[in-house]
Structure 1
Amino acid sequence: MSEQESGLRARLIEVGVELVTREGVQALSLREIARRAEVSHGAPRRYFPTHLELLSAIARRGFADLGAKAAEALGDDTASPRDRLTVLSGVYLDFALSQRGMYELMFRHDLLESGALGLRDTSLPLFGMLVDLVARVRPEADARIVAGALWANLHGIAQLWGWGSLQLATGTDDFVPLLRSVLDAHVGPEER
């Protein structure tokens, strides 16, 4: 692939990232991405034979951004594993709520289930961070199972908070107490 071709491929992904960030996942059509990239409507097919392949490339960028935010937030390795788990969980929720369109795209089942797209493998390093921290906080537990349950809870908070359901049900406009409760339930109360 020539430098110009790889530049156009990267531009299509970038336009897709901008589009999903500003307008949501429903705006991600091949035609709209091509229009905003100022190329013919057939141009994306040269680099992404299917719409799912382009969506997967855009979602990979979301996983990379979330991973980078998590790594930056966890930079202080002197903090306790529980504190680091709290930070990682907060970063996940902040990303999910501030990047709703991207978050929705990242967890689309049709993208994750397609082995050919390899998107599921892109999400595993972040889950690995979660498993590692859970193992440090609860060494007696099956860390993968506890981390999976914790992740499911975080995902549920993100979805329900984004819809406004949790604010209505709990009467709060801050998800931090919910996050603390979820962490207490999965890894035990914070030591004081």
Structure 2
Amino acid sequence: MEREISLRERLIDVGVDLVMTDGAASLGLREIARRAGVSHGAPRRYFPTHHALLSAIARRGFAELQARFAAASGAAASPRDQLRALARTYLGFASEHHGMFELMFRHDLLNSETHTSDLPRLRESTLPLFARVVELVALDRAVTASPGDVGPDDAAPPPAVTAVALWANVHGIAQLWAWGSIQLALDASSPPPAGALGGDQLGRLVTTVLDAHLGPVRR
């Protein structure tokens, strides 16, 4: 059993290395098996389908992103600062590991049922990350709200709805930046490389997104 677990983890390790260096398109079963030093049929003993192996690889990406979230938010003070840190962390991860980022959010993987008895569906790996954003949105409202800000007819949407809008906005920035579209829009004459996130531009984009969904910070 220990040897089987070790080989299963080795196959995932090889897949993680491949997606980090060569992108999601490189994750063929035969190539993973070859680099792991096993027969091309060996992965089927541990992962019944190709999707099962890809999901296991993507789950590693979510684990790393969650660890980065914990480190980033722990160093920030207010809920708004923590949300800003999480947004920058999300964009930084997408820029540094775009192949893994694309794999993590593939619809066919997120929407598929579990393929192994001891692992949850991949989309369940996103829930702790999203729950943290919802919590911080609610905390930010509690900190920044003043009596009389919201009337009965114009109540703010639930924190989960605002968190979804915030996440969608940040995720869109990550994708559009990877394609070079934002760089062209901000400076069509001289767009920087698609993979590089500029500090000042990134900071302004994140602040604009937070202000749009949460309201500007009161001074």
TM range (shorter): over 0.9
Name the structure where helix makes up a greater proportion of residues. 1
List per-residue Cα deviations over 1:99-146 (Å, max 9, x = no partner): 100000000000011132500111110011111101111245410000
Partner of 1:136: 139
What's the Cα RMSD here?
1.3
Mapped partners of 1:138, 1:43: distance in 2: 52
Mapped partners of 1:115, 1:133: distance in 2: 30
TM-score normalised by structure 2 residue count: 0.84
Contact 1:135-1:141 at 8 Å conserved across structures = no
In structure 2, runs of 5+ residues without a counterpart are: 116-120, 143-155, 192-197
Which letter does structure 2 place at the counterpart of 1:120? R
Partner of 1:14: 13
Mapped partners of 1:128, 1:26: distance in 2: 30
Computing the radius of gyration over CA atoms, which structure comes out larger, 1 or 2?
A: 2
Partner of 1:35: 34
Which letter does structure 2 place at the counterpart of 1:153? N
Mapped partners of 1:190, 1:17: distance in 2: 40
Deviation at 1:190, TM superposition (A): 2.4
**Equivalence map 1:164-175=2 (5 Å):** 164-171=180-187, 173=198, 174-175=201-202
Mapped partners of 1:146, 1:75: distance in 2: 22
Q: Is 1:154 paired with 2:152? A: no
Contact 1:34-1:40 at 8 Å conserved across structures = yes
Q: Is 1:183 paired with 2:203? A: no
Partner of 2:69: 70
> 3-state DSSP class of the match of 2:74?
coil
Deviation at 1:71, TM superposition (A): 0.5
